[in-house]
Amino acid sequence: MKKGLNRPLRKGYTTGACAAAAAKAAAMLLLKGQGLRVKGQKTPTFVEIPFPDGSRVRFKVHHSQLMTKNSRQAAKASVIKDAGDDPDITNGAEIVATAALGSRVKGQGSRRKIDLSHALCPMPLVQIKGGKGVGVVTKPGLAVQIGQPAINPVPMKMIREAVMEAIKEGLRVKGQKKKGEGSRGKGQELLEIEISVPKGKELAKKTLNSRLGIVGGISILGTTGIVEPMSVDAYTETISLGIDMAVAAGLNEIVFTPGRNSEKYAEEILRLKEDAFVQMGDYAGFAFKVAVKKGIKKIYVVGQLGKMAKIADGNFKTHVRDSNLNLSHIAEWTEKWGYDKTICKEIKNSNTARQVSDSFEEKGDKSFFELVAKRVIEEIKRLLKKDIKIRCIILSSNGAVMADVK
């Protein structure tokens, strides 16, 4: 019997989750070096961090050490990324975090110790930076501003929350002096966290980062902290089971979304039974065909412009390894739809679908999204060779409905 045949595929963790775990370990070690009795071992071997869904996950610390950085006391810790049973390019990469004391936000000079000794001392300000092997954003259209390290918003929040846990634990264990004692008015301490990936620059050559304008390393990614196994057989079987459950529940309509974020928005918008929602991932064509084969009478497809534009362009396997979004095609569509050539040129020169989406959203132009949605419906019907009822909803990056076409 083949290994793993009768067991579920093992989930892994994103670079963002690993960075957060490494950052907490580094912060704990630094605080211990500052004389605070933070809960746990003298040198942390495991750390537990919060995830966006409210769960907590324990990570093994690969390496940790106290050190000096720019004449300041610092601590370094690392976690090895485990992508589970669907290893990606960054699987096995060492994700490193370095914690160091910075200058106070107010006042002069720098501090050798974080002063958490009294009730009026403000919580330290946590500043997160990108180091060696973490890319820098150079083009618009991403979730991160130009010039900033390619650490996406959710990982950035996870890192901050994990570090703050270490600090709060230090506060709780240290205790507080009576109100008015200590160093009131001396300003807020600064704790710098630098995320680095030693082999990040080499790993980035195997990604699309350079095309996206992310230079010098990989991106620190993740919207949930978890890497769901993306084995084709496992995922398509999950889609089929989801459709079977809908049919068994007596439903004749299904809502397909690329992932959980889009699904959450779709649930709020459509208010249908739970069994009606199926995540199709990157296997849109497979999902549509199976739905029709099993007697579904109406298909909803809900997602952001990037995935929807791929379907509108006739690409039904929407993962980047299977199909790239051709913005030139979107520019050609807009020209046919009567848009000014300047707008068409802007689309062609855009970096990502998100940039295009944000631009039209800022203009308040929903007709563009509606025209794309109509193409989505036409392409699905062409694929299925059947005049089935289809409703396409295109969302903005923030979940707002930009088009709802039947």
In order, the DSSP letters of 66-120 are EEEETTEEEEEEEEE---TTS--TTTT-EEEEEEEEEB-SSSSSB-SS----BTT
* Residue 68: pLDDT band with limits 50, 70, 90: confident
Q: How far apart are CA 148 and CA 346, in angstroms?
A: 23
Question: Looking at per-residue confidence, does 107 or 90 come out higher?
Answer: 90
Q: What SS3 state is found at 142? A: coil
Alpha-carbon gap, residue 292 to 388, rounded angstroms: 8
Q: How far apart are CA 406 and CA 302, in angstroms?
A: 12
The yes-or-no verdict on residue 196 having pLDDT over 50 is yes
Find the range with the poorest average confidence among 117-126, 139-148, 156-165: 117-126
Average pLDDT over residues 82-98: 90
Name the least confident of 32-46, 147-161, 237-251, 346-360: 32-46
Q: Which of 282, 196, 302 is nearest to 231 (CA)?
A: 282
Average pLDDT of span 100-117: 52
pLDDT in tens, 330-355: 999 999 999 999 999 999 999 889 99
pLDDT at 348: 92
More confident residue, 238 or 357: 357
The tokens for 214 are 């992310």
Confidence band, pLDDT 50/70/90 cuts, at residue 185: very low
φ, ψ dihedrals at 227, nearest 5°:
-95, 110
Average pLDDT of the chain?
A: 85
- What's the confidence (pLDDT) of residue 142? 80
pLDDT above 50 (res 105)? no
For 14-55, the pLDDT digits (tens) are 999 999 999 999 999 998 876 555 555 567 899 999 999 999
Residue 74's closest CA among 107, 48, 112, 103? 112
Mean pLDDT, range 148-164, rounded to an integer? 96
Neighbours of 119 (CB within 10 A): 13
Which residue would you say has higher pLDDT here, 320 or 160?
160
Q: What is the mean pLDDT of residues 121-136?
A: 86
Q: What is the pTM of this model?
A: 0.66
Whole-angstrom Cα distance, residue 133 to residue 127? 18
> Does the domain at residues 12-227 carry the CATH identifier 3.30.2110.10?
yes
Give the strand pairing for 133-134 and 63-69: unpaired
- Residue from 221, 239, 193 nearest 320 by CA: 221
pLDDT of residue 212: 77
Go through 174-190 and write b for each residue having 16 or more CB atoms within 10 A of its CB, e for each that does not.
beeeeeeebeeeebebb
What is the residue extent of each domain of the chain? 12-227, 232-405
Contacts of 196 (CB under 8 A, 6+ apart): 96, 97, 98, 130, 131, 132, 133, 134
> Cα separation of 118 and 122, whole Å?
9
Residue 49's SS3 state is: strand
Between CA 229 and CA 9 the distance in angstroms is 6
Report pLDDT for 321: 53
**pLDDT of the residue at 37:** 52
Residue 325, pLDDT score: 76
- CB-based contact 351:338 (threshold 8 Å): no
- Least confident span in 96-105, 109-118, 223-232, 315-324: 109-118
Lowest mean pLDDT among 90-94, 120-124, 347-351, 400-404: 120-124
Residue 103, pLDDT score:
58
Buried b or exposed e, range 31-63, using 16+ CB within 10 angstroms: bbbbebebebeebbeebebbbbeeeebebebbe
Per-residue confidence at 190, pLDDT binned at 50, 70, 90?
Answer: confident
Going by C-alpha positions, the residue among 389, 358, 399 that lies closest to residue 292 is 389
- For residues 252, 255, 259, 263, the Cα torsion angle rounded to the nearest 10 degrees is -120
How far is the C-alpha of 247 from the C-alpha of 252, rounded, in Å?
Answer: 7
pLDDT > 90 fraction of the chain, expressed in percent and rounded: 62
pLDDT over 90 at 289, yes or no:
yes
Residue 163 — pLDDT band, cuts 50, 70, 90? very high
Give pLDDT, residue 302.
98
**Angstrom distance (rounded) from CA 130 to CA 209:** 15
Q: Identify the band that residue 6 occupies on the pLDDT scale cut at 50, 70 and 90.
A: very low
